[in-house]
Structure 1
Amino acid sequence: MAVPPSHARVVIIGGGVIGCSVAYHLTKLGWTDVVLLERKQLTSGTTWHAAGLIAQLRATANMTRLAKYSQELYGNLEEETGVATGFKRCGSITVALTEERREEILRQAAMARAFGVEVEEISPAEVKARYAHLNTEGVTGAVYLDKDGQGDPANIALALAKGARQRGAQVLERTRATGIVKDGRRVTGVDWEQGGESGHITADMVVNCSGMWAHEVGRMAGVNVPLHACEHFYIVTEAIAGLTQLPVLRVPDECAYYKEDAGKMLLGAFEPNAKPWGMNGIPADFEFDQLPEDFDHFEPILERAVARMPMLAEAGIHTFFNGPESFTPDDAYHLGLAPELDNFWVAAGFNSIGIQSAGGAGMALAQWIEAGEKPFDLGDVDISRMQPFQGNKTYLFERSKETLGLLYADHFPFRQKETARGIRRSPFHQHLRDNRAVMGELAGWERANWIARPDQTAEYEYSWKRQNFFDNVAEEVAAVRNNVGMYDMSSFGKIRVEGRDVVAFMNHVGGGQYDVPAGKIVYTQFLNPRGGIEADVTVTRISETAFLVVTPAATRLADQAWMMRHAGDFNVVITDVTAGEGVLAVMGPRSRELLQMVSPNDFSNDVNPFGTAQEIELGMGLARVHRVTYVGELGWEVYVSTDMAGHVFETLMEAGQALDLKLCGMHMMDCARMEKGFRHFGHDITCEDHVLEAGLGFAVKTDKPSFIGRDAVLRKKDEGLKKRLLQFRLTDPEPLLYHNEPIMRNGEIVGYLASGAYGHTLGGAMGLGYVPCAGEAAAEVLASDYHIDVAGTLVKAEASLKPMYDPRSERVKA
């Protein structure tokens, strides 16, 4: 048996389908010095027992791009390697059994059209015609995707491994990684053990593709990889006479999927209450292993399946299978450069969609490793979205009970996770709960999303139509627009950057001009060398040597890692101080009046104009107020140390009674920012959206001598824009927009909405989305006829480049 060499350019740990894919794609880019270490045999963890469903449509455009790439790759792999992959495009059908699910799949069909995926909406009768074995009673609608398919998971992985070997990679089985050696923020090599022998291989970089072992392998390197194994059940029948190739069938309302395989029927389940597995670690000898049968657990799924597919009642069960698969806290896989290190990569946690994801994920990660930057936006799956606490084993155990079932649950807008809640609480948490706040969760933070009335149940009632909080949010928006509202922003990331080189460092890493007086606030972006947006932040100069960078809650870790990776020789210290201060946003035309009631300080334009901060007395305590807004109104963000947060909340609430102050939530903030056309990072602006095409050129100061992305900004100014971010408003006040709805320009699909929310002030659903405009003047783009496709219905829309609400920001600067 070959032993590992003394050095490799890259060591990949894990020989499942994703490890083989990363090796394959790196060698396709010309890397020959690639070593893959597999503890037992290739595919022996999860890959070998995967169901092998290969679908194209995912929740976002780039995830769909990767899934489409996977099925194209698998279609050609057999010819390249000689290994039969069993890949066939048999199509897939998803059926709905409720009106809510029907709306969901029709919205998914519209999204598919926007992403260039062929999709057909079919009636119950057409379902029966294509799937005669199905009992279509109760079916309300269905969609058919012609190019979806299925394949042999283990052979797909073995084909990828063979392709990598043919181009020079070493794939070493029965070779276990036992330790990872580091020097500062870099990995230097991997310790290994093979058949009683041990050794060390130095490496320029390491990729953790260890599947359900990835959490443990990450810990070896001090890297957080949150995932947990769960039991996943399916049955395979005895051969059924006359059974021929059928489309893959999904019946999510019954938690079931069906696949014909060699004249037998496979029935799999994503049940609502999953069974976590491996709480005490995965056995050292685990290899092609099954878990004990649990027929009682599977029986409710099987009962419904027999009614839905009557032929199952006659067919004997050939195999009852239970095998472990790993699930992440948010049901999205982990990909990318670990935030804790500068040369340690992760591709793991594929949530039962590893076969359909692995081709594209391996391609994307290989390109990222080769170029040193993401090939396109991978924010949905970027490992840096995971918060440090999410590696907690108790948390992962509790959350994994829910995440498996969420794959087939109704994917309602605003749906909140129910397990593993209440972990990160702002200092105002109990005050908000006492005032009937309904909490949502983001990055582990409990956040008030809306405030229930006394006569209302203080919890979500989900729907694709107007949900039970619609009128509450309308009232909250009205308060901020016409009077005064207050909401908790404590979850937003706060990163303190200080040191003698702090101004030079900030001017290098950010597009704004930071050589400003203390107290000045700079709205800015961190750009990549292509002019794409890596972070969207506000930066306040606190003192001569210190700045406070405020980030979205979900990207605090990513934004901090970005700054640390670009710190180089600058003398700066970068510290997360998020939990040190609570933040209350006081917004609306009477916000100045409220602050003057509780503080002796001056909040006039002369002393505290828009874009400045000042230290103040508030009640009997101290605070710092930042005059900025994400809702498009006069207002301040009040920063207060956590020890005085309760006092400040009570002081503002008590004084606010005289002004009819209204507590508000995050849904209000999103609706209000949408009316003002303010961008949301991760939706409207990402690493692949050029800052000028996003309409944010005003925040970039190219008269600075040098900053990351400057050349790309100047190039784009010379070349002209290829697309523009437009704001849309539906002229019919009834339909709702969420995101990913197709944009129709003069009858043709030209893009999709990056985000959507209801414009309560402007009287219609609104969205932001990019429209191609190469060689066109702005007036020409706006003169077109626009419609938005809402679940298959085309709805007329107005389009604008300027904010439809308060275009000159007169209210903000009042």
Structure 2
Amino acid sequence: MNNTTSPKPVPSRARAVIIGGGVSGCSVAYHLAKLGWSDVVLLERKQLTSGTTWHAAGLIGQLRGSQNMTRLAKYSRDLYVRLEAETGIGTGMKQNGSITVALTDERREEIYRQASLARAFNVDVQEIDPARVKELYPYLNVSDVKAAVHLPLDGQCDPANIAMALAKGARQHGATVIEGVKVIDVLTKDGRVTGVVCEQAGERHVIETENVVNAAGMWGRNLAAQSGVTVPLHAAEHFYIVTEPVPGLGQLPVLRVPDEQAYYKEDAGKMLLGAFELKAKPWGMDGISEDFCFDQLPDDFDHFQPILEMAVRRMPMLETAGIHTFFCGPESFTPDDRYYLGEAPELKGYWVAAGYNSIGIVSSGGAGMALAQWMNDGEPPFDLWEVDIRRAQPFQKNRLYLRERVTETLGLLYADHFPYRQMATARGVRRSPIHEHLKKRGAVFGEVAGWERANWFAGLGQEKEYRYSWKRQNWFDNQRAEHMAVREGVGLFDMTSFGKIRVEGRDALAFLQRLCANQMDVEAGRIVYTQMLNRRGGIESDLTVTRLSETAFFLVVPGATLQRDLAWLRKNLLPDEFVVVTDVTAAESVLCVMGPKSRELLSKVSPSDLSNAAHPFGSASEIEIGYGLARAHRVTYVGELGWELYVPSDQAAHVFETLEHAGEGLGLKLCGLHALDSCRIEKAFRHFGHDITDEDHVLEAGLGFAVKTGKGDFIGRDAVLKKQEEGLKRRLVQLRLTDPKPLVFHNEALVRDGKIVGTITSGNYGHFLKGAIGLGYVPCEGESAADVLASKYEIEIAGERFAAEASLAPLYDPKAERVKM
């Protein structure tokens, strides 16, 4: 009698094909099927959970770095609790709580700030003292513990069983899950997915589909590359040990000791100790074997030993507990420690859910729900920019870059999460033509989207590096000097990292009128500040558009959002529209001359007429500078008279040298991005990704002045008219702390009349206004502006509340008189 069963047949057609049977792929399949996508097929080349899921630690921590990531983590926790009843498969989900301890004052500040954030996100949290830690965790040496936070509803689970439960739930709702099927290729036509070629038991099959989900984990980068899609991730080794059974060891909270790069989990009477060491080991540089399945990597006890030695001091019972398992397995990490979700900008219908940076179990339940909703509705259910695949830069798929970067990003999970912390590895990829000039003059660089940008300038004899802290860092006085130079004299910023896009062709005007909320039909040489909205009235892009000619427009966007903005433009281009969208970022450098003496400086190096009459605010024209030419845009992000000079890259060094030489008698100061940010927040200028996102309605963000509903139809117009009719539910408010000492960065709790009502979306120190400044949304349904301002406001920082002055108009130059001097 033959007991072998035939493999499950591969269908010829599906609405979606999911590649990868780890917890991420299973979650997407489950949520799509629950939405009614019955013809969903999940293909796993080996067996479900092989690769990474099977050896994950299964920690469920609800509190993440933002409200929506916390929302997804809480969703995962709740899903894993109810899956057991729904599918009959035990998920091992236990809400045994978690404790994070601090061994330094800096770490205490960090975890207390996180506790304030947890309260703002409605997560149950308590700050506890070392004595209480000892009660909850009797095995722990607390002699040097300075502080701790306890989240009683956190917990742990069984990762493999969760994936199995999700797969069973997907099948129950009509999805097909097939193991032992290897995907060979993704078929495309005219820029979109049309099918998948796969192999089962040596036989090839083609599945017609318009949607593919790359949930292939550490294989995801190479799979994506076959289709010309960028998914920058790289595997790194992750280590943990499991002890022999410890007599009397009962259920304990999950314990994190980030200052020792360690976490602890009691599991079935044994203790698991895992590490996020500061310098990690990349793995799979030559590609990952197709045969790799439930494999372990070779032990490296020398690498793990420093963590173990600290752990034995922290938990003395480890000294006598035998080691049952020393485990090393691969996990995928990304250049910024955030995973990838969404539709790839290069290929319509190609979706990504990969790169989970060791938080795949707590993330995948929510991420699968969010991606399924996104695929179903054609737009994300809420702001997911921090994990959006469109943030990935094309160069980041470079394997050497990724190999070096993941040595750092693994360890950053438990490193101090200081404000302004810069990556140390894989730097210097994208540089302005005047980079070396700035370096010689004391520039200390930060990195955004691979661009090296001068964040501040060190003085003579001052060290040219960051000294991180939650208090005033070593560049605070430098920022003040640069800030005040812009307010009182003249400063020069290198903003070459701006994203620059040309939109041109016969239908360029009609195209931009449909995408932009402001009036685009202006005369050549005019600059329009506008937003591109989605159908909910949320902000997809924040940009300036300069009309160069009847058929050509020049768009300037933040460097970090360039790929997103290009994708949005191309996605909304109609088949019969004659429009060409071109990324011209590298073609021009941008030198920003800002401050009340900026006209005086430019007049020394240019014979062009820069008067208000000839060159008013919001206009652009070509001017001469030294021996070169520049297109001078009279706009500002600092709230002063000034020009952004768009200079051909080959002339940038000459123009910089000319400006610098002419500025010697005017006190010209080189300024960095930190000063730019402190100036913009005094002026309450919005920062995309923080203050304004695709979830924030343009009117509630206070940007109604840039919306012209009377011009005709545009994307989001109906949502604007509806909001005007119904009234605002919340408003973006500017707040200044009356005590000049505390600092505000981002995500502090916003308190109105004694109750937490939101968070600070962005913050910096206002050196002219002499206090920390933050922006944040305040609920205001049925209230007037006067009602909003009549309340008492505070900002909670690490558990302590500080009084704040609130304003709806900019606290600095509310009538914008200085920009029009």
Deviations 1:706-746 (A, max 9, x none): 10000000000000000000000000000000111111111
Of 612, 630, 633, the residue aligned with 1:623 is 630
Of 324, 335, 339, the residue aligned with 2:345 is 339
Counterpart amino acid of residue 440 in structure 2: D
- Counterpart secondary structure, 2:14: strand
Displacement after TM superposition at 1:628 (Å)? 0.2
Counterpart of 2:543 in structure 1 is 537
Counterpart of 2:4 in structure 1 is none
Q: Distance in 1 between matches of 2:9 and 2:422?
A: 49
Q: Distance in 2 between matches of 1:493 and 1:790?
A: 34
Counterpart amino acid of residue 596 in structure 1: S
Q: Distance in 2 between matches of 1:442 and 1:204?
A: 34
Counterpart of 1:371 in structure 2 is 377
Of 82, 89, 95, the residue aligned with 1:76 is 82
Q: Distance in 2 between matches of 1:318 and 1:539?
A: 63
TM-score (structure 2 length as normaliser): 0.99
Tell me whether 1:581 sits opposite 2:610 in the alignment.
no
Counterpart amino acid of residue 370 in structure 2: A
Q: Any residues of structure 2 matched to 1:288-367 within 5 Å, and which?
A: 288-367=294-373
Tell me whether 1:396 sits opposite 2:432 in the alignment.
no
Of 794, 807, 813, the residue aligned with 2:814 is 807
Q: Distance in 2 between matches of 1:196 and 1:731?
A: 72
Counterpart amino acid of residue 560 in structure 2: A
Deviations 1:307-327 (A, max 9, x none): 000000000000000000000
Q: Distance in 2 between matches of 1:655 and 1:390?
A: 39
Q: Any residues of structure 2 matched to 1:233-252 within 5 Å, and which?
A: 233-252=239-258
Q: Distance in 2 between matches of 1:72 and 1:507?
A: 44
Of 669, 672, 682, the residue aligned with 2:679 is 672
Displacement after TM superposition at 1:455 (Å)? 2.1
Q: Show structure 2 runs of 5+ residues with no match.
A: 1-6
Q: Distance in 2 between matches of 1:804 and 1:307?
A: 52
Q: Distance in 2 between matches of 1:561 and 1:166?
A: 36
Of 517, 520, 525, the residue aligned with 1:519 is 525
Q: Any residues of structure 2 matched to 1:51-90 within 5 Å, and which?
A: 51-90=57-96
Tell me whether 1:100 sits opposite 2:106 in the alignment.
yes
Q: Distance in 2 between matches of 1:337 and 1:117?
A: 30
Counterpart of 2:710 in structure 1 is 703
Counterpart of 1:204 in structure 2 is 210
Displacement after TM superposition at 1:497 (Å)? 0.5
Q: Distance in 1 between matches of 2:546 and 2:238?
A: 49
Counterpart of 2:3 in structure 1 is none
Deviations 1:340-379 (A, max 9, x none): 1121100000000000000000000000000000110001
Q: Distance in 2 between matches of 1:624 and 1:390?
A: 31
Displacement after TM superposition at 1:137 (Å)? 1.8
Q: Any residues of structure 2 matched to 1:119-158 within 5 Å, and which?
A: 119-158=125-164
Counterpart of 1:458 in structure 2 is 464
Q: Distance in 2 between matches of 1:526 and 1:235?
A: 51
Tell me whether 1:682 sits opposite 2:689 in the alignment.
yes
Tell me whether 1:220 sits opposite 2:216 in the alignment.
no
Q: Distance in 2 between matches of 1:474 and 1:579?
A: 31
Of 748, 764, 771, the residue aligned with 2:755 is 748
Root mean square deviation of aligned Cα: 0.5
Counterpart of 1:769 in structure 2 is 776
Counterpart amino acid of residue 321 in structure 1: F
Counterpart amino acid of residue 447 in structure 1: R
Deviations 1:543-583 (A, max 9, x none): 11111100001000100110001111221000000010000
Q: Distance in 1 between matches of 2:372 and 2:652?
A: 47
Q: Distance in 2 between matches of 1:137 and 1:37?
A: 51
Q: Distance in 1 between matches of 2:226 and 2:479?
A: 47
Counterpart of 1:232 in structure 2 is 238
- Counterpart secondary structure, 2:658: helix
Q: Any residues of structure 2 matched to 1:372-451 within 5 Å, and which?
A: 372-451=378-457
Of 28, 33, 45, the residue aligned with 2:39 is 33
Counterpart of 1:42 in structure 2 is 48
Deviations 1:416-435 (A, max 9, x none): 00000000001110111011
Counterpart of 2:667 in structure 1 is 660
Q: Distance in 2 between matches of 1:514 and 1:723?
A: 28
Deviations 1:105-126 (A, max 9, x none): 0000001111111110000111
Counterpart amino acid of residue 32 in structure 2: L
Q: Any residues of structure 2 matched to 1:544-559 within 5 Å, and which?
A: 544-559=550-565
Moved over 2 A (4+): none
Aligned length: 814
Counterpart of 2:187 in structure 1 is 181
Counterpart of 2:796 in structure 1 is 789
Q: Show structure 1 runs of 5+ residues with no match.
A: none
Deviations 1:479-519 (A, max 9, x none): 00000000100001000100011110110111111111111
Q: Distance in 2 between matches of 1:739 and 1:273?
A: 27
- Counterpart secondary structure, 1:750: strand
Tell me whether 1:590 sits opposite 2:597 in the alignment.
yes
Aligned residues: percent identity?
68
Displacement after TM superposition at 1:3 (Å)? 2.3
Counterpart amino acid of residue 53 in structure 1: L
Deviations 1:621-676 (A, max 9, x none): 11110000000000000110011000000000000001010000000000000000
Counterpart amino acid of residue 457 in structure 1: E
